Amino acid sequence: MKSQLPAVHSLAAWLLSRPRGLLAAGVIVLGGSGFAVGRGALQTPPAVVPQVAAEAPETTAADPVASPAPAPVEAPPAVAAPPAPAGLEVRLDAPRVVPVAEPEHVRGLYLNAWAAGSARKLAKLIDIARTTEINSFVIDVKEGGELSYRSSIPLVRQVGADRAYIPDVRGMLQRLRDADIYPIARIVVFRDASLAAARPDWAIQREDGTPWKDNADHAWVDSYNRHVWDYNIAIAREAIELGFAEVQWDYVRFPDVPRSYMATARWPAAEGRSKEDAIREFLQYSREQLASYGVPVTADVFGLTVSASDDMGIGQLWSKLVDVTDVLLPMVYPSHFARGSYGIARPNARPYETVRKAMEYARRRTPAEPGNASIRPWLQDFTLGPPRYGPAHVRAQIQAVHDAGLTEWVLWHPGSNYTVAALADADGVAPTYELPGAGAPSVDSALVQRARTPAPDPVPLGVPVVEQDTGVTGSAQPANDSTARRR
């Protein structure tokens, strides 16, 4: 969802500049309960990385974004991380803001860089957490190739990728610690225009060696290239050492583009490996490299991964992800499912049934075994097409997660504007609404049914839930892409 932020001067303009692929949550033709889905070696770097000037931070007099100086913090525990490759050393000059412990059940909100960097906006979001069940924030650390704050990593600075959208990241993290909020670092991995421009030898290329771009004119880096992996892992290390408590990889996939675009793309570091193996290897490698920090390493995935029998051309195959991540976050936005998905005529109008069915698929394909990921879906708190979403639509999705036997979720709104009336209060008392959709039971009825309906039994990893396969590569992404559409 999300190229360049400094080129615009308002949150609205920024959001409008950040498209998302509909395939992310399932906009392809689905019939009944079945789907019709489509189907490194290290590079030797040049001796010098091109110098790109970093841009000055943007602030306005109307909204002072600099936070007060943080209170003294305790020293972090000793961390024996593996040595970083040259140019990727983390060189922080202040102690870590030690985050709060991971909540028993993460229930979170997404914060874009503007929201996290604005003192006033952040205060409003903290107040939501103070008065409701929200206990976690997923915060943009890297989006579209840009870091949200000034970095100490030499290569990041040489690339010119660091910004000051969050001008006082330690102050922001201290405010979250003081409010007992668990901070999660969202890092967009392979859609990275900044790194692709500075290091074209690390990027996806056309057959003639020139940079490749997708159908939305975005440049991507080579998902097979271990230099790219190390670059993102260094950014994760810095985020952890600043005070983030969890790493969440996003765009951890190959581009979702029409076949005509995919046919022109070349991955220099592929060496015959499959896409699904590349994504698995990156996740496994990043988890190993960050293991000494003792933080969860998680990944956002397309909503269809919970039920698709192949990797949909993007390298995300559920059975190859569940044992190399701590948490998987499928993006199951009802607005993104085509009519007829899961046998539901209008999934967007029936958010409860859509999300519950998706979560049942996810549970069936994820046995409760040591080392397997837990499931924490992204849910929709925005309107995209009819009907207009309100508290009942958002609460219905949360209820569906709980009724499927799961306990964690995160809400997404591109502008970080949330429907507070959909949330339980700080004591856990949830609001009650009629479930949206003609003929749907009320929330009270659903709660009664929850006690009577057993959760689906897990099945072994790799057992396909969906058999139908059209052989289509990637997605035929509609031209009217929207900022509400996620990854």
Percent helix, strand and coil across the chain, each rounded to 5? 30, 15, 55
Per-residue pLDDT of 437-450, as tens digits, reads 745 443 434 433 44
pLDDT bracket for residue 177 (50, 70, 90): very high
Higher pLDDT, 255 or 73: 255
Higher pLDDT, 455 or 129: 129
Per-residue pLDDT of 306-316, as tens digits, reads 999 999 999 99
Q: Residue 344: how many CA atoms within 13 Å on its side-chain side? A: 24
* Separation CA 123–CA 422 (nearest Å): 20
Percent of the chain with pLDDT strictly greater than 70: 73
Burial class (CB in 10 A: 0-12, 13-18, 19+), 363: buried
pLDDT bracket for residue 329 (50, 70, 90): very high
pLDDT of residue 81: 63
pLDDT of residue 437: 79
pLDDT of residue 368: 83
Q: Of 3.20.20.80, 3.20.20.70, 3.40.50.2300, 3.30.559.10, which CATH number belongs to 14-43+102-452?
A: 3.20.20.80
pLDDT of residue 439: 54
pLDDT of residue 4: 34
Mean per-residue pLDDT for 238-257?
98
Pairing of β 327-331 and β 30-31: unpaired
Tell me the domain boundaries of the chain.
Answer: 14-43+102-452
pLDDT bracket for residue 256 (50, 70, 90): very high
pLDDT of residue 138: 98
One-letter amino acid identity for 426? A
Mean per-residue pLDDT for 85-99?
95
pLDDT of residue 454: 38
Mean per-residue pLDDT for 359-387?
95
Tokens of 151: 């970095």
List, as one string, the DSSP characters of 419-443: -GGGS-BTT------BPSSTTPPBH
Strand ranges for 105-211 from DSSP E:
107-111, 136-143, 146-147, 182-188
Mean per-residue pLDDT for 52-59?
33
- Nearest CA to 25 among 249, 291, 348, 345? 348
- Nearest CA to 398 among 414, 417, 412? 412
Higher pLDDT, 328 or 463: 328
Task: Say if residue 44's pLDDT is above 60.
Answer: no
123: left (phi > 0), else alpha (psi -120 to 50), else beta?
Answer: alpha
| Maximum average pLDDT range among 13-17, 67-71, 227-231, 445-449 | 227-231
Per-residue pLDDT of 444-479, as tens digits, reads 344 334 433 333 333 333 333 332 222 222 332 222
Mean pLDDT score across all residues of the chain: 80
Q: Residue 338 — φ and ψ, nearest 5°? A: -70, 160
